[in-house]
A and B are shown apart, each in its own frame.
Chain A
Amino acid sequence: NAGVTQTPKFRVLKTGQSMTLLCAQDMNHEYMYWYRQDPGMGLRLIHYSVGEGTTAKGEVPDGYNVSRLKKQNFLLGLESAAPSQTSVYFCASSPRRGSISGEQYFGPGTRLTVT
Chain B
Amino acid sequence: RKEVEQDPGPFNVPEGATVAFNCTYSNSASQSFFWYRQDCRKEPKLLMSVYSSGNEDGRFTAQLNRASQYISLLIRDSKLSDSATYLCVVNKNSSASKIIFGSGTRLSIRP
Q: Is B43 within 8 A of A45, CB to CB? A: no
- From 58 to 110 in chain B, residues with beta carbon under 8 angstroms from any chain A beta carbon are 87, 89-91, 94-97, 99-104
Given A31-B96, A102-B91, are A41 and B33 neighbors across the interface (CB < 8 Å)? no
With A33-B96, A45-B96 known as contacts, the answer to whether A103 contacts B46 (CB < 8 A) is: yes
- Nearest residue (CB) in A for B87 is A42
A50 and B97 alpha carbons, distance in the complex (Å): 11
Question: Does B49 reach chain A (CB closer than 8 Å)?
Answer: yes
For chain A, which range describes its interface: under 10, 10 to 19, 20 to 34, or 35 or more residues? 20 to 34
Contact A42 B103 (CB under 8 A): yes
Q: Is the CB of A56 within 8 A of B4?
A: no
Q: Does A19 contact B (CB under 8 A)?
A: no
B96: A residues at CB distance < 8 A: 31, 33, 45, 48, 50, 56, 58, 100
Query: At the interface, yes or no: B44 with Cβ under 8 Å from chain A?
Result: yes
CB atoms of A108 and B46 under 8 A apart = no
B 39-54 binary contact with A (CB < 8 Å = 1; else 0)? 0001111100100000
Measuring CB to CB, which residues of chain A are less than 8 angstroms from any residue of chain B?
31, 33, 35, 40-45, 48, 50, 56-59, 90, 99-109
Using CB atoms and an 8 Å cutoff, list the residues of chain B in contact with chain A.
4, 8, 32-34, 42-46, 49, 87, 89-91, 94-97, 99-104
Other A-B contacts than A43-B101, A100-B96, A101-B34, 7 sampled, CB-CB below 8 A, are: A41-B103, A42-B101, A45-B97, A57-B97, A100-B94, A102-B32, A102-B34
A–B complex contacts, Cβ < 8 Å, 6 sampled: A43-B87, A58-B96, A102-B99, A106-B44, A106-B45, A108-B42
